[in-house]
Amino acid sequence: LTVLTGNSVVEAAPTAIELTYTGTAQNLVNGGTAYGGTLVYSLTKDGQYTETIPQGTNAGEYKVWYYVQGDANHSDSAKASLDVIIAKASYDMTGTKWNYTEPFRYDGTEHTIQVIGLPNGVTVSGYTGNTAMVAGDYTAGVTLDYDRANYNEPVIEDLDWQIVNNWTPTEYTVNGSGW
């Protein structure tokens, strides 16, 4: 008696999931279905294949390999792959602002403005133009440290700020002639 084996078939291929970085592992694909065996997955073509859907954590590009591992009556299907991207996340910067609301009055002391309300994971690495002591117009800028691998660059616009004179010009008359 000779038993012939048939070919296994991917009935519905797995599909990529649109993903954004969350800091936790996420399934990379929606599972597919198979006839004549079990659909198995791997993150490398020649790696270990399992029924478990592969997961990814960090932002970046992933290649998910799959095939039908044939049962006793069916041969394995050919390996196929699909590309999946976990996109970078964006920080919620809605509560972030400069701590400047109105011009400073010149008083002979140094005035400093800073960025406040930064979300977790974002820190200030440096400022430009945020400190001054004399009356004038200034522009402050900030450089931020953040998780560049998994997040889009947070944006804080430069700020134009001022120190204004604290005196009012007065006309003086000395001995009947103008000053």
pLDDT one-digit tens code per residue, 131-144: 999 999 999 999 99
pLDDT of residue 2: 56
Chain segment 32-84, per-residue pLDDT in tens:
999 999 999 999 999 999 999 999 999 999 999 999 999 999 999 999 999 99
Give 175's pLDDT tier (boundaries 50, 70, 90).
Answer: low
Asked whether the predicted pLDDT for residue 176 surpasses 60, the reply is no
Give 179's pLDDT tier (boundaries 50, 70, 90).
Answer: very low
Phi, psi (deg, nearest 5) at residue 95: -95, 5
pLDDT of residue 166: 75
Q: What's the mean pLDDT when you consider all of the chain?
A: 93
Chain segment 82-103, per-residue pLDDT in tens:
999 999 999 999 999 999 999 9
Give 172's pLDDT tier (boundaries 50, 70, 90).
Answer: low
Q: How many helices (H) and strands (E) does the chain have?
A: 0, 22
Asked whether the predicted pLDDT for residue 128 surpasses 50, the reply is yes
By three-state DSSP, how is residue 163 classified?
strand
**Spatial distance between the Cα atoms of 125 and 145, rounded to a whole number of angstroms:** 6
Q: Which of 112, 108, 118, 117 is CA-nearest to residue 100? A: 112
pLDDT of residue 95: 96
